[in-house]
Structure 1
Amino acid sequence: MGKGYFFDLYSIALAAGKEIMSVYKDDFAVEVKADDSPITVADNRANRVILDGLKRLNPDIPVLSEEGNETSFDERKSWQKFWLVDPLDGTKEFIKKNDEFTVNIALIESNYPTLGIIYAPALDVVYFGAEGVGAFKLEHASTAFIQDNEDLLRKSVRLSGIGSKDVTRIVASRSHMSKETEAFIEEIKAKYGQVEAVSSGSSLKFCLVAEGKADFYPRYAPTMEWDTGAGQAIVEAAGGKVSRYEDGARFFYNREDLRNGWFLVENNH
């Protein structure tokens, strides 16, 4: 299924990004949700575009979105397939205007991500990948004049997830650097020698691992399922892995509690 959806999701993500950038260029109000996380009109506009696009694409696949209506676990626990959406990942980065925010869309099947797309509208770069197909990157995404699925694949660069052999790179959050993350960096230094820290916002951290610009992304701080689904799909399609901190098992989705536990992202090293 994955490959056939690439062009459609690319088109939806670009449309959402256009809405986000129309807000980004001007002054905008910031509200605070019940969980103390920030939200702007850009989050809501992008969410509407994505929900409309996914409904047209396949009305039979339900959607779980950060900004959508809350769906109870009793309702969604029977879902074998659903879209997992963060219309504006990195709202804090958006507010800071540092360009490192993204649109995230993932397809979850039997609790695991099989397809994902991440679009960074301010950087105009899109990453996408699917199980059994591979992972890809397209720069200048909004002006690439993509006509169909094959055209998208032809103009994109395939990601191998293989990093440098000379230095080990660890990507960490700009907004969340925990003591545990710092301890992990020290462990890697002891094991591999030279270590370089790479900072990035939002789900772009997954993308750096997928394209081999980072070897590890330890996340020992809170996230939600919609923050990670698309990134995991892309990393795994590039040959990497995303595992739970507590037991090393593959990260899975549609849990009763949508808050993620700690995890580690590794490239194809």
Structure 2
Amino acid sequence: MDKTYLLDVAIKASIRAGKAILKIYEEDDEIVFNQKLDNSPITKADIASNTEILKFLQRTNIPIISEENKNLSYDARGKWETCWVVDPLDGTKEFIKRNGEFTVNIALVSNNTPILGVIYVPVTKELFFSDSEEAKAYKVTLDVNHEFSGQMMSKTNEITPRKRIENTIKIVGSRSHMNKETEEFVTKLSTTYSNVEIVSKGSSLKFCLVAEGKADVYPRFAPTMEWDTAAGQAICNAVGIKVISKETGEPLLYNKENLLNSHFIVRR
């Protein structure tokens, strides 16, 4: 399995999907959406993005788990050693609100662990990705045509977590899913740190903020699915940040029988 090739495919897929999303975002005066069976919204941008991603990933002959696919039963996919885990439009609520905080998430999972992650932010054209073999993650900003002319994996594009500042902690939380348990977590940290700062952000951008050193911890005490977290976890893993299940005390696993994640905390 050539990870360099697979990373290149995932990056190209995410950018093409981002362009499809942005076209709808910028041209449609009103964002029309429907409710899925789980009451989450879906728009034509979700479908357009998924279509573009599948065109690329199907070339790899690696099976795909996607939010917008009809996924196989565990009897079939449980035998997969490797698979893609995809969220074609993470942060659909943010897309509908038009606040720009939505992403395209693509991860490669091997033996239940995300080993490669790509997150693209169509509005800002920021691209985050991880190189699992070198245990490094990168961030580049593409131009108006969604292209990048330099060397993506240069030292200047490498991201690293924030260095600890005594008595200070920065917590990133969900813009759409703040709840009582999260508030209690913040209150508890306030007894340890004299300076507690909270940053709200939508979609998988919360993982990126921790990975690139703009936040220290991301508690998520609300439901998420594997496609919401796999790419972010791969990027965090590459820079030494752990995504730990509150249920098991171990890193989140993927291609489980139930694709629903347990609650988790992202921190060094």
| CA deviation string 1:194-218 (max 9, x = no partner) | 1100110000000000001110000
State the distance in 1 between where 2:49 and 2:186 align.
36
Residue 89 of structure 1: aligned partner: 90
The aligned counterpart of 2:77 is 76
- Looking at structure 2, the residues matched to 92 and 142 of structure 1 have their Cα atoms a distance apart, in angstroms, of 25
The residue number in structure 2 matching 1:106 is 107
Matched, 1:135 2:134: no
Q: Tell me the alpha carbon deviations over residues 151-204 of structure 1, each in whole angstroms, 9 at most, x when there is no partner.
A: 321386111112451531000001001111111111212122211001100000
Residue in 1 aligned with 2:152? Answer: 152
1:1-269 equivalence runs, <5 A? 1-25=2-26, 26=28, 27-56=30-59, 58-59=60-61, 61-133=62-134, 134-140=136-142, 143=145, 145-146=147-148, 151-154=151-154, 157-165=157-165, 167-267=168-268
- Measured in 1, the distance between the counterparts of 2:91 and 2:151 equals 30
Looking at structure 2, the residues matched to 79 and 28 of structure 1 have their Cα atoms a distance apart, in angstroms, of 37
Q: 1:163 to 1:97 in 2, by over 3 A?
A: farther
Contact 1:164 1:212 in 2 (8 A): no
Change (3 A) 1:141 1:135: farther
Change (3 A) 1:160 1:84: same
Gaps of 5+ in 2: none
Q: Is the 8 A contact 1:137 1:156 kept in 2?
A: no
State the Cα deviation string for residues 67-95 of structure 1 (Å, max 9, x = none): 01221111111110000000000000000
The CA distance in 1 between the partners of 2:249 and 2:143, in whole Å, is: 35
Count of aligned positions: 263
Distance of aligned partners of 1:11 and 1:155 in 2 relative to their CA distance in 1, 3 Å threshold = farther
TM-superposed deviation, 1:146: 3.8
Q: Distance in 1 between matches of 2:4 and 2:210?
A: 21
Q: Check the 8 A contact 1:161/1:209 in 2, yes or no.
A: yes
Structure 1 spans left out of the alignment, 5+ residues:
none
How big is the alpha-carbon RMSD for the aligned residues of Structure 1 and Structure 2?
1.7
Looking at structure 2, the residues matched to 82 and 36 of structure 1 have their Cα atoms a distance apart, in angstroms, of 26
Give the TM-score normalised by the residue count of structure 2: 0.93
**Contact persistence 1:89–1:101 (CA under 8 A):** yes
Residues 183-192 or 213-222, more deviating? 183-192
SS in 2 for 1:152: coil
Q: Which secondary structure does the structure 2 equivalent of 1:54 belong to?
A: helix
- SS of the residue 2:254 aligns to: coil
Would the aligned equivalents of 1:163 and 1:214 in 2 still touch at CA under 8 Å?
Answer: no
Q: Look up the SS of the partner of 1:92 in the other structure.
A: helix
Contact 2:126 2:139 in 1 (8 A): yes
Give the TM-score normalised by the residue count of structure 1: 0.93
Displacement of 1:117: 0.3
Residue 246 of structure 1: how far off its partner (Å): 2.2
For residues 236 and 208 of structure 1, the distance between their equivalents in structure 2, rounded to whole angstroms, comes to 14
